[in-house]
């Protein structure tokens, strides 16, 4: 090494020493002697820090754990709880009494439509009813005639028989009987026999008339009933105002307790038969539709009527409960899923927590274990393949949280089964656990923090 290199090295060494000596002289200045970066060291948390990280604790205990399948679904209205207000006859909308969002009760007035076709049909019904009454009256008269002929016919036959017997007696008497008397008796017998025959014919005709009138009356009644059945007065939730002198006015009434979903027409507008004016829905019970991946179909094969929890996807809050109603036996060839339908109560109806079109997390409960050691899922912190919790130990000034590895089992949407690492009675952090893992650890027994600064302002002796 030449002289110039030696001088350079000596200068560097001198400079390093000059920097290092002050640094060592100020070690601990502005720091806490008890702090450490050991991630496994216990955590000592002040009240302010606990509030900042949302620290909460709970005692480990035996509890219920469920074997669940997690899916997603969309809330839909029940198909049989949506009703459209639509006339069966074309007409003009005269009034609409409600607006979208209005809550209605069963029987409340919704709208009025005036239809000339309805007026014409109603008058036809009245005509058929009058015709039916006339046919019934004629039928009664025909039945009375039948009854009369059934009495008169046998009497006429009996009179003819007596007259014929009298003729035979006179003929047997021989020449002692006047020819004029015999001719007279024979004429009477023939007349009586003819009268009996006419009454028999009249009876048969009267019976035929009765049957004919009965058939006509029956046909007329069925025609009136058929026409009446398709008139607004026979529609569920509507009635005709014919009695008010407006035979073509149809008044629509709400068929359910519910809420008006949509309004598609305005007063004064023409409306064709079958066109929707309003829609009313009842959302007190809804259905959730989802898709089951092909790999889970077998696992859910016996899940019909299984309980289901419904959670809001945005924050995980439970918004309803239901049961599995249907799992399709058909796998969709494109999506490779089976369609799932869940029925759920929705207290509050349209203002409830389940709204049609809303996406929800679906938790299907397959089985339950009532005696597992469980902790809330928020207590578990993951670090690579490892899982741990923070167990509270000590009290007051000596309270610390110690990291403890755990082995978990079944997990549902509420709690996690602990198979190893915790026992009932342990107190663990269930809120702010991850934030707790990011705090510096505290090693018990280390020196206390540096003394309070002296009058020179830094707490170190600078007199050397």
Note the pLDDT of residue 463: 41
Tokens of 239: 């009635």
Distances (CA, A) of 100 to 3, 278, 281, 381, 437: 98, 9, 11, 49, 52
Confidence of residue 67 (pLDDT cuts 50, 70, 90): confident
Residue 455 has pLDDT above 60, yes or no: no
If you search the block for the tokens 């015709």, which residue do you land on? Answer: 131
Q: Is residue 383 within 8 Å of 421, Cβ to Cβ?
A: no
Tokens of 340: 């799932």
Residue 462 carries which DSSP code? -
Residue 43 carries which DSSP code? B
Fold of the domain spanning 52-77+283-442: Elongation Factor Tu (Ef-tu); domain 3 (2.40.30)
Distances (CA, A) of 347 to 148, 287, 323: 71, 13, 15
Q: Is residue 201 within 8 Å of 156, Cβ to Cβ?
A: no
Assign 30 to helix, strand or coil.
coil
Residue 240 has pLDDT above 80, yes or no: no
Tokens of 207: 């019976």
Assign 373 to helix, strand or coil.
strand
Please spell the DSSP secondary structure of 235-253, one letter per residue: STTEEE-GGGT-TTEEEEE
Would the CA dihedral through 122, 123, 124, 125 be positive or negative?
A: positive
Tokens of 284: 């007190």
End-to-end CA gap in the chain: 37
Residue 345, H or E segment: strand 337-345
Q: How far is CA 319 from the centre of its chain?
A: 14
Q: What is the pLDDT of residues 184-206, one digit of tens each?
A: 888 888 888 898 889 889 889 98
Residue 176 has pLDDT above 80, yes or no: no
Mean pLDDT of the chain: 82
Note the pLDDT of residue 163: 86
CATH of 82-115+248-281, one of 1.10.357.10, 3.20.10.10, 2.40.50.100, 3.50.50.60: 2.40.50.100
Length of the chain: 464
If you search the block for the tokens 């990011």, which residue do you land on? Answer: 438
Residue 156, H or E segment: helix 116-173
Alpha carbons within 13 angstroms on the beta-carbon side of residue 142 total 17
The structural domains of the chain, with segments of one domain joined by +, span 52-77+283-442, 82-115+248-281, 121-229
Note the pLDDT of residue 32: 46
Pairing of strands 415-420, 359-376: antiparallel
Q: What value does the mean pLDDT take over residues 322-332?
A: 94
Note the pLDDT of residue 123: 86
Q: What is the pLDDT of residues 421-446, one digit of tens each?
A: 999 999 999 999 999 888 887 655 55
Q: What is the pLDDT of residues 330-385, one digit of tens each?
A: 999 999 999 999 999 998 888 889 999 999 999 999 988 888 899 998 999 998 88
Q: Give the angle 117-228-97 at the CA atoms, nearest 5°.
A: 60
Fold match between domain 52-77+283-442 and domain 82-115+248-281? no
Residue 194 carries which DSSP code? H
Nearest to 145 by CA among 199, 73, 84, 99: 199
54 vs 340: CA distance, rounded Å: 38
Nearest to 161 by CA among 189, 127, 201, 198: 189
pTM for the whole structure: 0.59
Tokens of 350: 């349209």
| Top-level class of domain 121-229 | mainly alpha
Q: Is residue 104 within 8 Å of 259, Cβ to Cβ?
A: yes
């Amino acid at each position: 090494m030449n002289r110039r290199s030696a001088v350079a090295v000596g200068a560097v060494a001198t400079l390093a020493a000059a920097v290092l000596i002050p640094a060592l002289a100020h070690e601990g200045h502005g720091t806490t002697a008890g702090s450490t970066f050991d991630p496994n060291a216990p955590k000592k948390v002040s009240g302010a820090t606990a509030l900042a990280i949302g620290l909460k604790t709970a005692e480990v205990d035996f509890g219920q754990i469920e074997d669940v399948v997690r899916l997603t679904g969309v809330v839909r209205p029940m198909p049989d709880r949506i009703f459209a207000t639509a006339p069966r006859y074309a007409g003009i909308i005269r009034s609409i009494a409600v607006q979208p969002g209005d809550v209605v009760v069963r029987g409340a007035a919704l709208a009025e439509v005036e239809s000339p076709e309805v007026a014409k049909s109603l008058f036809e019904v009245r005509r058929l009813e009058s015709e039916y009454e006339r046919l019934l009256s004629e039928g009664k008269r025909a039945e009375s005639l039948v009854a009369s002929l059934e009495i008169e016919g046998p009497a006429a036959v009996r009179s003819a028989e007596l007259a014929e017997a009298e003729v035979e007696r006179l003929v047997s008497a021989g020449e002692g009987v006047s020819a004029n008397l015999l001719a007279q008796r024979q004429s009477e017998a023939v007349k009586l026999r003819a009268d009996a025959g006419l009454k028999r014919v009249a009876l048969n005709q009267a019976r035929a008339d009765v049957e004919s009138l009965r058939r006509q009356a029956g046909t007329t009644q069925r025609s009136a009933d058929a026409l009446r059945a398709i008139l607004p007065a026979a529609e569920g939730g509507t009635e005709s105002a014919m009695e008010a002198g407006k035979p073509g006015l149809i008044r629509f009434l709400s068929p359910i307790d519910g809420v008006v979903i949509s309004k598609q027409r305005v007063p004064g507008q023409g409306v064709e038969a079958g066109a929707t004016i309003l829609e009313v829905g009842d959302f007190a019970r809804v259905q959730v539709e989802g898709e089951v991946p092909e790999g889970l179909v077998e696992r859910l094969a016996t899940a019909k009527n299984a309980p289901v929890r419904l959670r809001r996807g945005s924050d995980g809050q439970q918004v309803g409960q239901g049961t599995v109603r249907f799992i399709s036996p058909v796998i969709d060839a494109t999506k490779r899923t089976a369609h799932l339908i869940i029925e759920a109560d929705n207290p509050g109806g349209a203002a409830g927590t389940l709204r049609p079109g809303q996406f929800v997390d679906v938790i299907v409960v397959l089985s339950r274990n009532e005696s597992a050691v469980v902790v809330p899922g928020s207590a578990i912190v993951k670090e690579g393949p490892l899982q741990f919790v923070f167990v509270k130990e000590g009290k007051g000034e000596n309270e610390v949280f110690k990291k403890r590895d755990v082995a978990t089992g079944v997990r549902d949407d509420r709690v996690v089964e602990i198979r190893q690492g915790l026992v009932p009675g342990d107190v663990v952090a269930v809120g702010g656990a991850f934030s707790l893992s990011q705090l510096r650890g505290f090693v018990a027994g280390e020196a206390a923090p540096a003394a309070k600064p002296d009058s020179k302002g830094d707490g170190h002796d600078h007199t050397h």
